[in-house]
């Protein structure tokens, strides 16, 4: 078999495995969609999609892969990249560290010793990173974030206004975190505007296929597999992959690294994106969440695919890794 035929055969095998998993896990109805943001509870809980995009732009799509949902915390990864690109590591590290917390994503906890947010994947860190988005006023800053998304998605993203409004109306815990950071001098005195921007970036609508494309872009040294654009600098992708592996899956990150071993980020909208460096992005969407805030079916899909295809980053053979 030629190398190309072998690749196609492996992709077909992968696609078939995803289809089988989708069928087998569809009856799994454990967990509940997030409801602390009231609008998120209105989602159809049965929706279920698996998508993958390779670094050379092949798409695998199973189930409701074209259905849109809000990106939520997965935005934290992209915004961290934007902050690193705009301000450089040193400036960002003064405000946000890289230590996993073991606390829930919305814990009101700061790194007291360093006077900074613990890491960019928990709400405190993400709000501090959002504070760093440049622009004069909310509209300009929303535009800055939107155009970042546009580079990742290859199209201009929509914001779910109802979710945005719902977060704004109920996000008092995030408000508490933000004002605490203001009182410590970690963020600037434009808290309501920064929170509004944070809620907006969480309310961006994506599909599972979009998430897989984002993953493939980061996996591809920051180059979008289809547009060819350098979306984020290669050295920044290293930092993104590191925090995704250590802090990306809420307070389940350690178990995830152990059992799945793929840098990933999840969101309370039910999405999970996994990034296989040099190979591609893998995404699942299913809104029923476990107690950590991770999609129940999503975890199962990643666990099983990682096993079956030996995707763990530290797997001795990593057969999917292409020779660079
Ligand atoms: N907008 C959500 C919040 O701030 C994001 C949470 C998440 O997806 O983890 O609570």
Please indicate whether residue 167, judged by its CB atom, sits closer than 6 Å to ligand 1.
yes
Q: What is the pLDDT of residue 324?
A: 46
Nearest to 252 by CA among 280, 284, 294: 294
When pLDDT is averaged across residues 156-183 and rounded to a whole number, the result is 97
Write the pLDDT tens digit of every residue in 257-301: 999 999 999 999 999 999 999 999 999 999 999 999 999 999 999
Q: What's the CA dihedral at 301, 307, 313, 314 to 10 degrees?
A: 150
Write the pLDDT tens digit of every residue in 278-287: 999 999 999 9
**Both structure tokens of 231:** 């979306």
Q: Residue 3: pLDDT band by 50, 70, 90 thresholds?
A: confident
The percent of residues in the chain predicted with pLDDT above 90, rounded, is: 92
- Active-site residue flag, 76: yes
Write the pLDDT tens digit of every residue in 202-234: 999 999 999 999 999 999 999 999 999 999 999
Ligand 1, atom 7, residue with closest C-alpha: 73
- Active-site residue flag, 133: no
Q: Residue 319: pLDDT band by 50, 70, 90 thresholds?
A: low
Which one from 73, 203, 266, 306 is the annotated catalytic residue?
73
**Both structure tokens of 134:** 């440049």
Domain 30-72+206-323 has CATH 3.40.710.10: yes
When pLDDT is averaged across residues 141-167 and rounded to a whole number, the result is 97
Nearest to 122 by CA among 107, 135, 142, 134: 107
**Mean pLDDT score of the chain, rounded to an integer?**
95
Examine the pLDDT at 101 and tell me if it is beyond 50: yes
Domain ranges of the chain: 30-72+206-323, 75-202
Q: Token pair 């535009």 is at which residue?
A: 143
The minimum-distance atom of ligand 1 relative to the CA of 126 is 4
Please indicate whether residue 294, judged by its CB atom, sits closer than 6 Å to ligand 1.
no
Sign of the torsion formed by the C-alpha atoms of 249, 322, 63 and 157? positive
| From 71, 167, 287, mutation site for ligand 1 pocket: most ligand atoms within 8 A of C-beta | 167
Q: Which helix (H) or strand (E) holds 275?
A: strand 271-276
What's the pTM value of the predicted model, to 2 decimals? 0.96
Phi, psi angle pair for 63, to nearest 5° = 70, -140
The topology under which CATH files domain 75-202 is: Beta-lactamase (3.40.710)
């Amino acid at each position: 078999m030629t190398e190309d035929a072998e690749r196609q055969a492996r992709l077909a095998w992968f696609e078939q495995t995803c289809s089988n998993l989708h069928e087998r896990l569809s009856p799994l109805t454990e967990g509940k969609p997030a409801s602390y943001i009231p609008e998120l509870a209105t989602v159809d809980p049965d929706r279920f999609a698996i998508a993958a995009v390779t670094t050379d732009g092949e798409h695998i799509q199973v189930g409701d892969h074209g259905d849109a949902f809000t990106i939520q915390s997965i935005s934290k990864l992209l915004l961290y990249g934007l902050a690193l690109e705009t301000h450089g590591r040193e400036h960002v590290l003064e405000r946000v560290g890289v230590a996993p917390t073991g606390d829930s994503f919305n814990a009101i906890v700061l790194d007291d010793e360093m006077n900074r947010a613990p890491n960019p994947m928990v709400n405190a860190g993400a709000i501090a990173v959002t504070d760093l988005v440049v622009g004069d006023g909310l509209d300009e800053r929303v535009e800055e974030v939107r155009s970042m998304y546009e580079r990742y998605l290859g199209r201009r993203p929509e914001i779910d206004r109802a979710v945005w409004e719902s977060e704004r109306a109920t996000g008092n815990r995030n408000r508490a975190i933000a004002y605490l950071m203001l009182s410590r001098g970690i963020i600037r005195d434009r808290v309501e505007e920064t929170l509004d921007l944070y809620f907006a970036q969480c309310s961006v609508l994506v599909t599972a296929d979009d998430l897989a494309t984002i993953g493939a872009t980061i996996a591809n040294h920051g180059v979008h597999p289809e547009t060819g654009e350098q979306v984020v600098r290669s050295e920044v992708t290293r930092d993104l992959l590191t925090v995704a592996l250590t802090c990306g899956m809420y307070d389940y990150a350690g178990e995830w690294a152990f059992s799945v071993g793929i840098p990933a980020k999840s969101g309370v909208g039910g999405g999970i994106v996994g990034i296989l460096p040099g190979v591609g992005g893998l995404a699942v969407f299913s809104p029923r969440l476990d107690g950590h805030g991770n999609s129940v079916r999503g975890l199962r899909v990643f666990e099983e695919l990682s096993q079956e295809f030996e995707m763990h980053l530290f797997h001795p053979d990593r057969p999917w890794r292409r020779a660079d």
